[in-house]
Amino acid sequence: MAPPPFQGSAPEESAQAAHSAAFPATADLGRLPALLGDLFPEAASGERACWCRQLAEFSRHLYRWSGRINLVADGDRSALVNKHLVPSLLIRSALEGVPHRQIVDLGSGAGLPGIPLKIVLPNNDFVLVESRRRRASFLREVVRRLALQRIAVENLRLEQWRDPPRGGVDLVTARAVADPAALLERVRPILAPKGHLLAFLPTDRSPSDMDPPPEVRTVGWRDIEVRLGLWKQPSGIAHKK
């Protein structure tokens, strides 16, 4: 059965039921309670249960739509928790001492890391920036289906964004970036004076070879480890007004 249109013209409940059997990662989703308990022990159990439901629902949407618009690699669709959710959620553990009231997820694509991070930071303001129309439509659909608040989707390139948050944003996240140090130059105009860029580091380059080099933050859960690069807005760089 083909997925329903993005705008939800097919009845939602029947569409979800029809696709539940086709979703192969149900057992993988069973790791979510332990994951959330280990990473966020300070959260109330009811809050973690809500996050768990939202993450599971996001995974189902991501699995279905990936077959249609190539959101993640085919080989990753049956291992969404380990391949994508865990690395995204680990970002929150790397934010100690980093302002992050306003977060922009640049090149959000499949909503990674933006959507999982938004779920576990429900009181923070998010903007998902994605230039490709169909991926932006997917993101809007996920935001609607999960009833997420204080989050917007911008379907444009960063250079086309004419009205970023006033005063600049605290944090820009980016995942699939070949040269995150070069990305710093592009995001400086939207960063607050004390803002940061946090990006997944490529495995084929040493952080010390990057210009400027980042602060490296390594976070992990069980057998999964993620290396992140953190760049601070240089002094004297003005943000867009």
At 25, the pLDDT band (50, 70, 90 cuts) reads low
For residue 168, report the phi and psi dihedrals to the nearest 5 degrees.
90, 165
Nearest 10 degrees: Cα torsion 95, 135, 30, 46:
60
Of the candidates 161, 167, 228, the one whose C-alpha atom is nearest the C-alpha of residue 194 is 167
Q: Report whether 175 contacts 129 (CB < 8 A).
A: no
**CATH for 12-232, options being 3.40.50.150, 3.20.20.30, 1.10.10.10, 3.20.10.10:** 3.40.50.150
pLDDT in tens, 34-62: 999 999 999 999 999 999 999 999 999 99
Which residues have CB under 8 Å from 40's CB, separation 6+?
A: 48, 92, 120
pLDDT in tens, 158-190: 999 988 888 899 999 999 887 888 899 999 999
Q: For residue 240, is pLDDT > 80?
A: no
Q: Quick one: pLDDT at residue 27? A: 63
pLDDT in tens, 95-130: 999 999 999 999 999 999 999 999 999 999 999 999
Whole-prediction pTM: 0.87
Q: For residue 64, is pLDDT > 70?
A: yes
Of the candidates 63, 23, 59, 55, the one whose C-alpha atom is nearest the C-alpha of residue 39 is 55
Task: State mean pLDDT over 73-95.
Answer: 93
Q: Quick one: pLDDT at residue 19? A: 43
